[in-house]
């Protein structure tokens, strides 16, 4: 099963579009320090697609590093299973949250190879493996960011972030991959331009997109790197994200969450 250009999903059903009969049972509860605390419900995708939970999903936003990068912990319930995305640093605070909620972490997802997103991944994997006694995989980004992952420490130090480590993922991802993490299916889309191997993770059942440094509230990611590509970033955002329904929540790598609809209407770069 592969998502294809974000436009089809399972059994040939269109995921894009509005007004589909859906279940209203699944929800996403978002909390975070550094952003105002809020909670809301989102619509499940379709009764034929995925098994919607009657319980809300939880998304904790943990701003890490001096750049306040949005590390996130998506989890089903306190005492349940979770997945950490972009642990750029401040591993102790991430671990403290995981411990306080009593979570078993299924995987660590990386959107791209910048040091403020990946600098804590190797340490977090090491500690979680020891604590949980099982293999916690670092998954992503696309292989084209390998050169950045191999210099995560150097990048982080140049940004004033100390204690970062280079990281070797257990698995790279490719556009169209569907990951199964914490019993959920997440679609991977490749959105290059900020970095060559940048990916976004889309959880259709939760109507959530974890987009790293591609799309922000009102702006898009930097492309003023030697490997940056503004046109590719705009094209990628349009192809992978702007095809999603308006009510899909978007968590960028920095700053406040937004929605696809808000950016479709108000983002001058796309």
Interacting residues with Fe ion (CB under 5 A): 114, 213
Least distance to Fe ion from the beta carbon of 232, Å? 15
Least distance to Fe ion from the beta carbon of 111, Å? 8
As a whole number of angstroms, the distance between CA 91 and CA 73 comes to: 12
Q: Which is nearer to Fe ion, 114 or 184 (CB)?
A: 114
Angle subtended at Cα 227 by Cα 226 and Cα 229, rounded to the nearest 5 degrees = 110
As a whole number of angstroms, the distance between CA 181 and CA 188 comes to: 12
Least distance to Fe ion from the beta carbon of 253, Å? 6
Q: Which is nearer to Fe ion, 73 or 118 (CB)?
A: 118
As a whole number of angstroms, the distance between CA 248 and CA 242 comes to: 10
Least distance to Fe ion from the beta carbon of 226, Å? 14
Q: What are the beta bridge partners of residue 105?
A: 82
As a whole number of angstroms, the distance between CA 151 and CA 167 comes to: 8
DSSP string computed for 47-97: TTBS---SSEEEEEEEEETTTTEEEEEEESSTTSEEEEE---S-HHHHHHH
Q: Which helix (H) or strand (E) holds 12?
A: none
Q: Which is nearer to Fe ion, 136 or 233 (CB)?
A: 233
Least distance to Fe ion from the beta carbon of 250, Å? 16
Q: Which is nearer to Fe ion, 104 or 217 (CB)?
A: 217
As a whole number of angstroms, the distance between CA 52 and CA 24 comes to: 9
Provide the strand spans (E) within 131-233: 137-139, 178-181, 184-190, 199-203, 208-212, 215-216, 219-220
As a whole number of angstroms, the distance between CA 229 and CA 104 comes to: 38
Least distance to Fe ion from the beta carbon of 110, Å? 11
Q: Which is nearer to Fe ion, 3 or 169 (CB)?
A: 169
Least distance to Fe ion from the beta carbon of 114, Å? 3
As a whole number of angstroms, the distance between CA 140 and CA 7 comes to: 22
Q: Which is nearer to Fe ion, 115 or 245 (CB)?
A: 115
Q: Which is nearer to Fe ion, 58 or 114 (CB)?
A: 114
Q: Is 54:261 a contact under the CB 8 Å cutoff?
A: no
């Amino acid at each position: 099963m592969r998502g294809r250009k974000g436009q089809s999903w399972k059994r040939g059903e269109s995921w894009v579009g509005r007004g589909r009969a859906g279940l209203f049972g699944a929800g996403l509860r978002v909390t975070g320090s550094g952003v105002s605390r809020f909670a809301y419900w989102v619509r499940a995708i379709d009764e034929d697609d995925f098994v919607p939970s009657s319980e809300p999903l939880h998304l904790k936003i943990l701003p890490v590093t001096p750049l306040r990068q949005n590390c996130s912990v998506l989890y089903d319930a306190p005492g349940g299973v979770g997945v950490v995305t972009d642990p750029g640093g401040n591993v102790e605070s991430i671990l403290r949250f995981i411990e306080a909620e009593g979570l078993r972490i299924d995987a660590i997802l990386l959107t791209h190879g910048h040091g403020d997103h990946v600098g804590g991944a190797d340490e977090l994997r090491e500690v979680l493996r020891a604590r949980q006694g099982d293999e916690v995989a670092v998954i992503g980004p696309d292989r084209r960011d390998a050169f950045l992952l191999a210099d995560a420490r150097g990048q982080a130090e140049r940004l004033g972030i100390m204690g970062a480590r280079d990281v070797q993922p257990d698995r790279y991802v490719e556009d169209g991959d569907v990951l199964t993490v914490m019993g959920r299916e997440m679609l991977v889309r490749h959105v290059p331009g900020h970095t060559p191997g940048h990916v976004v993770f889309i959880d259709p059942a939760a109507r959530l997109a974890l987009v790293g440094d591609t799309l922000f509230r009102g702006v898009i990611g930097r492309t003023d790197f030697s490997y940056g590509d503004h046109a590719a970033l705009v094209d990628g955002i349009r192809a992978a994200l702007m095809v999603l329904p308006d009510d899909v929540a978007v968590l960028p790598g920095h700053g406040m969450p937004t929605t696809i609809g808000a950016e479709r209407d108000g983002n001058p770069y796309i």
